[in-house]
Amino acid sequence: MNERSLHGVIVLDKPGGWTSNRVMGRVGWLLGLGRRKGGKIGFLGTLDPLATGVLPIFTGKATRLIPLFEGLEKTYRATIRLGESTDTFDSEGRVTRQRPLEGLTPERVEQAIRGFAGFREQSAPPFSAVKQDGVASYRLARQGKEVQRRVKKVHIRLIEPEKIELPEASFRVTVSAGTYIRTLADDIGEELDVGAHVTALRRLDCGNLFTEEKSITLERLEELAGSMDRKDPLPDLGFILNPVGFLREYSPLEVAGQQLDYILHGRAVALAADGGMTPGARAMALDTHGALVAVGRLDSLPGGGLEFRPEKVLA
């Protein structure tokens, strides 16, 4: 077994009907992470049970990198049903109101969808993981308690209608981190004065880094795991991707010897040459085998030159 294969990223194609936490737990069990030193696991960007698609799962020491990606835009394909509102803003909830679609045309729906591009204020759905007094909102909503819907500003950078066959409409949308597509669906329905809820949702990518093309299905992962020796289930696995490939904005620095030792202990190191890099730039330290050691920033030295200051040490 190559222990380095433990520390990386799995771009999972999440199946419908599973919570993100349940999927993560299943992946961890399949790879035996709970039985291994450094066998941590975490994911980026919660997907609702109804949703499918890209769910980046970080394993081992790569979990320390998750905060670096939390601000990424996300792209989705959504299908909504017009004329019905639900308490969860999706098809898993209880229908709270039905309204006729008389006079509603595909052209009006397309115009309304396009009109949501730009910066907007948005509230989380009543059924969400947002905490209120330390309790998830969905737990309070299930108990029939009032949920305070906090308003925040989001950016819908791109929204394009794809198919409109009333009462359903589908669109592709690219949004800032933290945007709720369920709320967007409800808002579109209210804009048209007919109500709406999500019936299908698929995440297509996160920041053009974690994409469908790089993803693996849970079914395929289970097949691969089933062919492994359960006592040693982590050989060089191609689906556990090197995190270096996702740090596109970080300049690579090869380190060895005393420099490597200093970085492993969280200490800054002076660079022999700046390589055209500037103070404040982000950089990643790699060992002589190309393995990621740390990420950090470049600072100016008083006498000139640059130093690498590690912020997250992996090795």
Give the active site residues.
48
Any alpha helices (H) in 133-279, and if so which ranges? 137-142, 181-191, 218-226, 257-264
Residue 35 three-state SS: helix
Measured distance CA(227)–CA(156) in Å, rounded: 43
Q: For 232, which DSSP code? A: S
Question: Which residue, 198, 192, 161, 165, is CA-closest to 99?
Answer: 192
Using N-to-C axis directions, what is the helix angle for 218-226 and 20-30, rounded to 10°?
20
- Exposed / middle / buried, residue 10 (Cβ in 10 Å: 0-12, 13-18, 19+): buried
Measured distance CA(122)–CA(119) in Å, rounded: 10
Q: Are 260 and 32 in contact (CB under 8 A)?
A: no
Q: Please confirm whether the linkage preceding 252 is cis (ω < 30° from 0).
A: no
- Cβ neighbors of 149 (< 8 A, separation 6 or more) are 123, 124, 126
